[in-house]
């Protein structure tokens, strides 16, 4: 009876099963590598997003400072005009 069971496993069937296993392993490895690369790129994008937010904050702070300086200069010019008018 054991001989009949082993006759089912012909060399062609064994080669086919081995080929299928190799293909599945290749697909799994490719998926794993792709997932790793996607995770790496996602981390890079998150870092870039954080950097962009920091730059935007710095730009907004600088713009606010320039607006304050502009207002101060206008006030000083108006004060000088008033003092020249008093003379």
Write the pLDDT tens digit of every residue in 10-49.
Answer: 889 899 999 999 999 999 999 999 999 999 999 888 888 8
How many domains, in total, are found in the chain? 1
Rounded to whole angstroms, how far apart are CA atoms 24 and 27? 5
Cα dihedral: 56, 58, 63, 65 (round 10): 160
Distance CA 54, CA 61 (A): 11
How far apart CA 15 and CA 3 sit, in angstroms, is 20
The pTM of the full predicted model, rounded to 2 decimals, is: 0.48
Q: Which residue range is the domain that position 15 belongs to?
A: 2-86
pLDDT at residue 1, as a whole number: 45
């Amino acid at each position: 009876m054991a001989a009949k069971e082993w006759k089912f496993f012909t060399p062609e069937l064994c080669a086919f099963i081995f080929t299928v296993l190799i293909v599945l392993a290749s697909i799994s490895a490719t998926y794993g590598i792709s997932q790793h690369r996607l995770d790496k790129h996602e981390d890079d994008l998150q870092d870039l997003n954080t950097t962009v937010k920091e730059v935007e904050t710095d730009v907004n702070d600088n713009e606010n400072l320039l607006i304050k300086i502009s207002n101060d200069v206008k006030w000083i010019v108006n004060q000088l005009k008033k003092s020249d008018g008093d003379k």
